[in-house]
Each structure stands twice: as C-alpha cells, then as structure tokens.
Structure 1
Amino acid sequence: MSRVSVITGGAGGMGLATAKVVGVDHSVVLCDVRQERLDASADTLKELGVAVTIVNADVTDRQAVARLFDTAAGLGTVASVIHTAGVSPSMGDADYVMRTNALGTLNVNEVFHASANEGAAIVNVASMAAHMLPEELIPTAHFPTALTDESAFMTAMLAACDIAGEEARSGIAYAVSKSFVRWYSTAQCERFNGRGLRIVSVSPGSIDTEMGRLEEQAGAGAMVADAAVPRWGKPEEMGDLLAFCASAKAGYLTGTDILNDGGVVASMKERARVAAQG
C-alpha cells in the first residue's frame, strides 16, 4: 500500500512547500478550508508528479478531522501528519485564534493518536511567539484541561488574554495558543510513544508567506530586521525542516520543539541581557 502524508493548512505557503518535499515518495492529502487555493495547490503538485488528494475540512470540527483521516487511510498507510493549519492575530478575534490554533491542534493530534499505525509521526507548527511570551503569562496549569473539558479550557485561555487591552487580545491569544501547541507536543510524547508514534513541534519565525506578511506591520518586520539572520524565512526552508521531522531519518526525534526563527529569540534575549547589565 501507498505511504500517505496528511498536510493540514495545505493551501498555505509552508504546507505547499512541505507537500513538494514529502510528495516525492508519499501520496499527499492536502486539507484546508479555502477551496480555490486547495485546487491551485493540487494543480501545482500534480504538475510535479505528486499523487495528491484534497479535502476541504475545518480542523476545529473533530468530526471533519475524523473524516479527513478516514480519507487518508483509504489511500494507504498514514505515515505522517504535518499540521500547519493555523491563523495569525490579524485574521480574527481572540476566540477565533485560540479555537483554530489550540483546539484545531488538539483535534488533529487526538484523531491521529487514536488511528495512526505504529511508526507514524506528527509534526505541529507552533511559533517563535511561544518562546517570547513571559512564562508567568502562560496559563500552563490549565493546558491539560483541553483533554477533558474544552469549554473550561477555552474559558481559562480567553481569561489569560485579558492582561492587555482589547487591541492586544488577538496577539496574546496567538502567543498563548502556540504555547499550548508547544506544550502539547512535549507533554503528550510519552502517551504517543505508548502507541509507537512520534510527536514534534516546530516554531517558525517570520516566514515569507501570505499569512506571515499579514503581520509585517504588526511588529514582525522590525523583528526580522533585528534578527541574527536579518531576512524573512523562506517557505521552502520550513518545508524541508517539517518534512525531515516527519521522516524516518528523524526516528529518534520526539517530545521536543525546534525553534527555526533566524536567531530572533536568541538575539532579543542577548540584547535584553546586555541592556540589564548596562
């Protein structure tokens, strides 16, 4: 049977870039909510000789995610999932950002855990924002609630976004939601390993995609300029990393987060250290 890789957010820049890599030796199932972009991405992949199937599904809908995995399983053995689906602060209010990024990740990962065969891997996309929010502002104690009471989880997460004014709530929700993705990908690794599965997260910096550029005027542009590598990351650079993390070559890699941000976080921390001494 064919080895299948599921890519959520497959119509986006990082998702498509990853599909081009994994599609060399896997059948690819692209999932997104934007049908026109899905169709265009599928055409691009078919021109490259990739066997691709598209599924229009919202990751915040657990039943839709289950149907996505059923489709993938009908094509062969699901070897990997690259979960790039997510939204940025400029794309909606705090509830929308939290629901998409946190609960969407929960849905995709929990269905994967329940259905994947031994040896499969899932790679979640977090963010450098998860490395920048002060720990005291991250409601980590409430993160496990997502697994038992999603309503209570959302209430606690949105309460954590009230630390700043209304204008900042979406940005805080983004950082908190991506902190949840990072936490989940480490905290659940032993449970996943119990079924012979790997789980990893990758935290991109500012990547030159449609979604990445939405945040250019909201501070990302300045962070790029101050990075150790002062440029925007390329979708292809993220695609290669995500594909590697999902591959058999990374068979020892699980329960961790990989920060790939051009040195933004490292540079900011060092400048803060020097300024504090001065």
Structure 2
Amino acid sequence: MADKAAIVTGGARGMGLATAMILAADHHIVLTDVDETSLGQAVAQIEANGGSAEFVVADITSRDQVDAVFAVAAAAGGLRAVVHAAGVSPHMASAEKLIEINAVGTIHIGEAALAVANEGFALVNVASIAAQMVPGFLIPTRAFRYASTDVAKFRRKLVAAATRTGRKMAAAQAYPISKAFVVWYSADRAAAFGAKGARILSVSPGSFDTEMGRIENDGGAGKLTEFAALKRFGRPEEIAELLAFCASEKPGYLTGVDILCDGGTKAGMGLREMVQLARQA
C-alpha cells in the first residue's frame, strides 16, 4: 500500500474515477459516493490496474459521514490530497438538493480537509463552466460569507436566490449558483489552507462525456460545444489529467484560483451567445 492516501469524492464513475486511476500510481485511493455497487466496481478497476484502493459509502451532505471518510483515509496512511468531484446537475435534483449537495457538501469537505491539512496537502474542488455563464447579479455572492458562520442561513439564501424567478427554472438557477460558490469558496479559504502550507483551488469543466454530461446534453451541455474551439465533448481522462496534476505536489504554488477547462467554449461566446443559450435552455 502506498505511504500516502488521496480521497476522491464522486469516485464511482466519470471524471472522479478517471482521476482516481491516475492518482493511484502513487497514492492509496479512498473512493466515496452513494452507490455501493459502482464503488465496488471502481475499486476493482483500480486494483486490476495495479493500484491500491478502498471505498466508503457516504453522503457528503452529512458532516458525520464526511468525517468517517476522512477517518478511513487517515488510517490508510498520510492523507495528502482530496479531489472533490461529487455533485449533481439540474436534471438530477431539485433546487434545494442541488444547493445541499453542491454547496453545503463542499463546505463539509472543505472543513474536514482543513482540519487535517498540512505541508504539501491539496484540495481540488470541481466547479463548472456554468458558474461563469450567468450574469453576476444572479449570483448571491454576499450570502456566500455565511458558509463559515451560519450554514442554515447560507442554505436559505441560496435557495431563495434560485427560486426568485419561480419554481420552473429553480434547478437551472441553483446549479450555477452552487458552482459559483465552489469557485468563491476555493478562493476564500486559500489563506486558511496556506497557513498550514496547504493548497485549495477549483477546476471548472465545460461539456464532458460523462454520465452527468449526457443527462444534461439537451439542457445545454451539447449546445455549448457549438461555440467551442474544439467542437466535441471532452473525455473524462482529459479533465482527470488536469485534476490529478492540480492535486499532485508538482504545482506547489498553485492555490486560490479557478481553472477553466472547456475546450475553448467561453472564448467563443459573447454576451449575445450567452443570452441565446439561456433562452434555449
């Protein structure tokens, strides 16, 4: 077993599993997700490739369950990295559930990571291009500060922002709000992690060929590729290379930032194209 461990949330499939496969070259991997069958299959895949892995079934909306995942990783060796890829998209959940999983879940992971962070530790949060595709006035940035002082109030304010235009579009509004929070949180907590010699940052994928990406194909993910420089869906292993690099010890001065990996989508879009896409969503 490797003498250092890495946690990958949302590790049962998609970009989470692809990232775990790379990190397994020199880390013992602790996968977590809510699907026990898929987690077992993912561990078997990592081990068949020569890696060392185990899994913990956990719901990241529960701080106690998150702490249990970190305890397993600590027992496996020195926890050096966390890649937080767990999340849901608009066609998968209600506005309330989106906020709970994507935003509150990120707080739980971040607090648990900060508690054990030390020199060389890294937390990489997966955000989304969606965080950059909506007007800033729709993002309740002032409410984000309650993440560290009053999570209940934080939750209420984000849900209220997502539902201000009605229930029909609530989930579609909640998703970019929740992912904008991931970007904000990763920058806001950089100093706290830095005080321990540790790093935190976010990566914002564009349209990728994962299970979630296919679910959202008709909701805009497919349409985005029409504006991209690379007119195709990204492959899970492509974003995994970036996530694994960010989580590694190599980019030791990289922290507090968001990295957009979208095949040149945002570069090919102006305000008119963004409005057009929003109307078609």
So what's the TM-score if we normalise by structure 1?
Answer: 0.96
Equivalent in the alignment of 1:212: 213
CA distance in 1, matches of 2:22, 2:7: 13
1:117-166 CA distance string (max 9 Å, x none): 32100000000000111111110011010111111111110111123332
- Residue 135 of structure 1 aligns to which amino acid in structure 2? G
After superposition, residues 111-190 of structure 1 pair within 5 angstroms as 111-190=112-191
Q: Could you list the runs of 4 or more consecutive aligned residues of structure 1 that deviate by over 2 angstroms after TM superposition?
A: 162-165, 269-273
Q: Counterparts of 1:1-278 in structure 2 under 5 Å?
A: 2-269=3-270
Note the C-alpha offset of 1:208: 0.3
Give the distance between the partners of 1:12 and 1:174, measured in 2 at CA.
20
Q: Secondary structure at the match of 1:74?
A: helix
1:216 and 1:195, CA in 2 relative to 1: closer, same or farther beyond 3 A? same
Give me the whole-angstrom Cα distance separating, in 2, the residues matched to 1:168 and 1:188.
30
The structural deviation recorded for 1:116 is 2.4
Q: 2:200 touches 2:256 (CA, 8 Å); kept in 1?
A: yes
TM-score of the aligned structures, taking structure 2 as reference length: 0.95
2:279 aligns with: none
C-alpha contact 1:77 1:117 (8 A) present in aligned 2? no
Q: CA deviation at 1:272?
A: 5.1
Contact 1:119 1:196 (8 Å CA) reproduced: yes
Distance 1:142 1:181 in 2: 13
* 3-state SS of paired residue (2:91): helix
Q: Structure 2: which amino acid aligns with 1:139?
A: P
Give the Å deviation of 1:72: 0.2
May I ask how many residue pairs the two structures share in their alignment? 274
Unaligned runs of 5+ in 1: none
**C-alpha spacing 1:272/1:93, structure 2 compared with 1 (3 Å):** closer
Quote how far apart the aligned CAs of 1:59 are.
0.6
Task: Work out the CA distance in 2 between the residues paired with 1:272 and 1:227.
Answer: 12
Contact 1:79 1:121 in 2 (8 A): yes
Say which SS state the counterpart of residue 156 (structure 1) adopts: helix
Q: Supply the AA of the counterpart residue of 2:269.
A: M
Moved more, 1-10 or 198-207: 1-10
The answer as to whether partners of 1:78 and 1:117 remain within 8 angstroms in 2 is no
C-alpha distance in 2 between matches for 1:216 and 1:163: 25
SS at match of 1:54: strand
> Is the 2:117–2:193 Cα contact (8 Å) retained in structure 1?
no
Q: Tell me the alpha carbon deviations over residues 244-273 of structure 1, each in whole angstroms, 9 at most, x when there is no partner.
A: 001111101000000001111121127659
- Structure 2 stretches of 5 or more lacking a match? 277-281
In 1, Cα distance between the equivalents of 2:119 and 2:187? 19
Q: 1:168: how far off?
A: 1.2
CA deviation vs aligned residue, 1:56-93 (integer Å, no higher than 9, x gap)? 01111001111110100001001100000000111110
